Structure formats: C-alpha cells, structure tokens
Amino acid sequence: MRDFCAMSATTPPRAEIGVPHRPLRRGADNALLGGVCGGLAIRLGVSERAVRVVTCVVALLWGVGLLAYFALWLTLPRTGEDRSIAGRLLGGRNRLRRVAVAVAAGALVLLVLHPFSEALLGPLSWAFLLAALALIVVWRGATAEERQRLEELGRHTPFLRSRAESTRTWALVRIFVGLVLVLLGVRLAALVSRRVDGGAPAAIFGTAFVLAGVVVLLAPWWLSLVHDLSDERRSRVRVEERAKLAAHLHDSVLQTLTLIERSADDPGQVTRLARTQERELRQWLFGPVATSRVATLAGALDALVGEIEGDYGVRVELVVVGEATLSEALTDLVAAGREAAINAARWSGAERVSVYAEVEPDKASLFVRDRGRGFDPATVPEDRHGLAVSIRERLAARGGTATVRSAPGEGTEVALEVALA
Amino acid sequence: MRPRVFLVDDHGLILAGLRAELADHVEIVGAADEVAAAAEMILERRPDVVLLDVHMPGGGGEAVLREVLVDAPDVRFLALSVSDAAEDVIAVVRAGARGYVTKSISAPELLEAILRVADGDAVFSPRLAGFVLDAFASEGHLGEAEVDPELNQLTPRERQVLRLIARGYAYRDVATELAISIKTVESHVSSVLRKLQLSSRYELTHWAVERRLT
C-alpha cells in the first residue's frame, strides 16, 4: 500500500497531463509502482495525485482497488511498449496451453487457501494475497527495463533488502518471519475484538507480535539509513576539514615560502621567517585548541617566545607547568621574563634560550636560562644595572624576587618569582 | 664501543639527514620507513637503540614499540618527533620508549641522548620533564586499584631533578647544582621513567588528552 499511497508525496517528473484522447497506457516516466495511476491520470486529464488518493481509498474497501490496480498492471501495456505483461506471458505459440496452466494454477491456489479463508483470511488479506501473486506474475512478464525499475524501487523500499544484508535468502527469511509475526498479532487482536473473554493478555500479546514483526521488517533498513547518514556526515566533515587546512596552509606556509624566496640572499631573515613559521605551524598542529580568549600565563609566554624567536633568530624552548589566568602579578612576571629573555638572546651568543615557568598555589616562578658566554655579576657596567634594578623593584612590590646567576663561560640564569594571592 | 642504531622514519629526507649526522659516531644497522617493515627488521637485527619517529601511517611509533617489545624487551627506543603534544609524548613513553626528544635537537645532543639510552638510562627533554611535573602535580586523586602507591608520587628529590631539567639544565649541570653524582641523577630520571610507564594514575592519560582541550 505504501508504495502507491504514501510515496505520492515525492512526485516524479510530470508527464503531460490534461491532453485527452490518448490510448490508455501505463505511465513510464510518471510511475511510482506500476505506472497505472499515472497512466489513468494522463488518459483522464486529471492530476496524478487525485488518482492515487482515490486508488488508495478504494484499496481499503475489501481490497477492491488493490485488485483493480494489479489487473490493470497486468493488462495495460506500458507507454512505449506494444504488449501488456499478460499479453507477453500468454502470447506466443503455446498460447492455449499457457492460459490453461495459468487458470489451473490459480484454481489450485484458491482451492488450497479456501479452508483458511474463514479462520485466517479476511477479504483484505485475500486481496493482498492475490496482489502478491500478481506481483510475481508481473515480475515474470516484465521487460528488462521495467524489471530494472522495480529492482531500483525495491532497493529503496524499507523492508525488501538493505545494504546490511549480504544475501537475498536472509532478506527473504527476515521478511517471512516479520510477516508471520504481524499476521499472528493481527489475528490475536481480531480474536479479542470478537470475543471479549480472550481478555487483556491476548491484546497485549497481539500488539507485541505486531511490534516485533514491524521491528524485524524495518530494522535493517533503519540501520542502513542511519549508516548512510553518518557516512554522509563524515564525508562532509572531511571535506570541510580539508578546505580549512588548505586555507590555513595558504595563509601561512605558502605566504612565508614566498617571503623566504624573496629574501634568499639574507640568511638571517630566512632563518627568522622559517622559525616563526615553524612555531606558528607547530602551535596550530599540536598546540591546545584555542577555545577561550581568556589571557593565561602560558598564552602570554607563548606570545613572548614568538616575539623573541622572530626578532632575534634564537630558538626559545618554553616549558610551562601548571596554568593560571593572567593577573597583575603574573603580567609583571612575564614583563620581567621578557627583559631577561631579550638580554639572553642579545648578549649571550647562545643559539637557544630555555624558559621555564611553574605555577604553584602560593607563587609563580619563571626561569630564563642560556648557555652562552655568561658574565661576572660583580662587573656589570653601570648602564646595565638599571635594568636589573627596575625588574627587581617591580617584582619586590609584588612580594617577589629576581636573582641572576652567571659566571663567565657558564651561561646565565635569571630566576624570577612572584607571590600569588 | 659504538652502539648499533636502527632508524625508523617515514620521511626519506629525515632518514638521510640522521644517517649523515650520526654515521661517524654510531653504527647504523638499518633503517625502515613503515611500521611493519620496521618491526620485522628490528627483531631480526637486534640493534641497541632504535630512533623512532612518533607519527607514521599504520599506528605510528607506538605500533612498532608494541610489536617489538613483546619479543625483544631488551631493545631500547628513543622517540624522535616534531610533535610536542603531550598526548603523543606520554603515549610513546607509556608504550615503552626510554626517552623523547624533538627533531629540533642539535646533533651533539642527539648523539648524547642515544648514548644515554644505549646505556640503559632515560632521556628527558625539558619538555618531557615539564609534562611529568604537570601530570604528577596534583596530590591525591590516585588510581583505584592501588598496587604500589610509590608509583604514583614523585619524591621531592625527583621533583628537584625534573625541575632543573625543565629549566634547561643538562644532567651534569643538575649533578653540580644538587651536589650529587651524574649516576645519581640518571638513577632518579630512570626511576621517574619507570613511574611514568607503570603508574596507574588515571590523570596521566586524561591529563595528556585534556591538555589539548583546555
């Protein structure tokens, strides 16, 4: 039923409607199932949807519409074909014998099913049964083109076959089990409605059977639908990621490479550019995902390292243990660290400067160390004293200290500390 | 005696560069650029030290570690990577690497690290030391099935050593600073490595993953 009722919501490309005096044919390009409704709509000059709705309603009257539909399916030629399915099956040389066999087979089926008609089969069930037989006949007689269309339809129909099922046999077994459950459930419910003494248990069982049947019928389809959706989502995400990556590489790496090419005769500039780019790319690839704009100690130090690596062409190795949002005390600490790191980059002659920061509950410390030429703190010229003093006083105001340890040839380490409230 | 070194990296340029830098000082017994071949050749040639790239298709350095260490627990691994991400560092060390250095390391330092690993010691870069301090920072919060609580705490001395390493001190500088022998420094670092590998602190993994998300 679903096939030619519910599915009418998705209207296929419209055929010419309202052009009268055409021979009655089944529609080819406006067909949902067999094209009967589409063909009628064209012949009668009314909308397809109207014909479909009427057909569905009539189908509910003891299955009359259903039987009519299949009768027309079998006897009307498809648009563009000159013979109907019945004609194709019954035509040919042994026409008489074939008709005889078909009638005999039909009679046999009716005879076998007759005893069940009272107990199990209502008029609607009969209609369904005959429709199912008709469908088999349709399949036998359909042209390759129509078969292909039906197969396509079957692939998209909920309970016929899903990607999750590898073999047709399994699909058939599942459909059979599902249908049996549904039928049993319907029978139980019908029994209850006829004789009240069956009581609640039968009704509950009936409902349970129907539900179980529906689940068995529809589960694989639902699963594959879900699967398709997540597949689709995944590939979309992948495409977006790729676009983001390409945009980023273009803005950063490609630009820098161009700059490097242009300054090929200035080794210092090349080194600086390469360092800065490396840092930036590393941060992007491996760094923490920047979710908040809150300034933190690690963030401030990171920016500081970038600045010094860019300006002085030294490598700064930064290690941060613990983390805190940037308070005034920590801002002073970073500013002092900046002076120390710039001094190291400028005067030590070392290729690498180590910066280590640690946040503890009551204090934060920052160490800037190089393994460069070092100096004797006792012989620092007057004009460079000022710097150390200003740093020291600034930190002292925050309850902190600044200590410089250095010796010629040993490198320098500046230890800075502030108290945290 | 020159240590026998095996190189694993999926970038041909890096392999060539490492060969050029190391060939005069160590015996390079082979190189591989993918996980399966690397595991097979390492098991066959039994080098003293494997220089292992962390990021490779097919499971990366971690996969090589897992495959080799089951059959040859005596092969020592030094992880070498461009990544400074905590989860990568912690993952390879937990998988059995005896050290972790980044590819920006200078040639003499790399050689020193190789010799140290060949001797059975651990190699902690400042970055790795910082990670360990961070991961072991919080007191309490121990794993549930506590077999050996010792494994989940650093001793004050180990903390001191790690702090100095994080500050950029070489092992011998650490020894001078703390007035202990280099051997003692090495044994502290090895002990930290053991804790890092065997600790049931659930924070280690969680911390490493969360570090990227905060």
pLDDT in tens for each of the 421 residues of chain A? Answer: 444 444 443 444 444 555 545 677 887 777 777 788 888 888 888 888 888 888 888 877 777 778 888 888 888 888 777 778 877 777 766 777 777 887 888 788 777 777 666 555 566 667 777 777 788 788 777 777 787 777 777 666 655 555 555 566 777 777 788 888 877 777 776 766 665 555 566 667 777 877 888 887 777 777 777 777 777 788 888 888 887 787 777 777 887 888 888 888 888 788 888 888 887 787 777 766 554 456 888 888 988 888 888 888 788 889 988 888 888 888 889 988 988 898 888 888 888 899 999 998 888 999 999 988 888 877 766 556 556 677 787 788 888 888 888 888 888 899 999 988 7
Q: Which of B106, B167, B214 to mutate to test the interface with A (most CBs of A within 10 A)?
A: B167
B51 strand-pairing partners: B7, B78
Max Cα distance, chain A (Å): 124
ipTM of the complex: 0.82
CB contact under 8 A, A282 and B126: no
Cα A340 to Cα A332: distance, rounded to the nearest angstrom: 12
Residue intervals in chain B for CATH 3.40.50.2300: 1-120
Contact partners, residue B18, CB within 8 Å, separation at least 6:
B7, B9, B51
Residue B166, chain A, CB below 8 Å: the answer is yes
Q: What is the pLDDT of residue B142?
A: 45
Residue B209, chain A, CB below 8 Å: the answer is no
Cα A286 to Cα B127: distance, rounded to the nearest angstrom: 14
Q: What is the pLDDT of residue B103?
A: 79
Chain B residues closer than 8 Å to A358 by CB: 133, 163, 166
A-chain residue closest to B82, CA distance:
A282
Tens of pLDDT along B117-142? Answer: 999 889 988 888 988 888 887 554 44
Contact partners, residue A266, CB within 8 Å, separation at least 6:
none
Q: What is the CATH number of domain B1-120?
A: 3.40.50.2300
Backbone φ and ψ for A80, nearest 5 degrees, come out as 90, -5
Cα B206 to Cα A213: distance, rounded to the nearest angstrom: 45
Q: What is the pLDDT of residue A135?
A: 80
Closest CA to A366 of A354, A376, A375: A354
CB pairs under 8 A between A and B: 57
Fold type of domain B125-214: Arc Repressor Mutant, subunit A (1.10.10)
C-alpha distances in Å from residue B56, one per residue of A57, A250, A275, B53, B81: 64, 24, 24, 7, 10
Cα A259 to Cα A294: distance, rounded to the nearest angstrom: 32
Residue intervals in chain B for CATH 1.10.10.10: 125-214
Q: What does the block give as tokens for A28?
A: 């080819």
Contact partners, residue B34, CB within 8 Å, separation at least 6:
B10, B56, B57, B58
Chain B residues closer than 8 Å to A367 by CB: 167-168
Cα B110 to Cα A277: distance, rounded to the nearest angstrom: 24
C-alpha distances in Å from residue A145, one per residue of A78, A84, A383, B47: 11, 14, 95, 67
Chain B residues closer than 8 Å to A288 by CB: 211-214
B134-138, long-range: CB < 8 A, 24+ apart: B134/A321, B134/A322, B134/B86, B134/B207, B134/B211, B135/B86, B135/B90, B135/B201, B135/B203, B135/B204, B135/B207, B135/B208, B136/B195, B136/B201, B137/A321, B137/A322, B138/B203
Q: What is the pLDDT of residue A71?
A: 85
* Residue A371 distance to chain B (closest CA, Å): 9
Is B208:B86 a contact under the CB 8 Å cutoff?
yes
Q: In this structure, are strands B99-102 and B123-124 parallel, antiparallel, or unpaired? A: parallel
Domains defined for chain A, CATH in brackets: 1-157 (no CATH), 161-262 (no CATH), 292-419 (3.30.565.10)
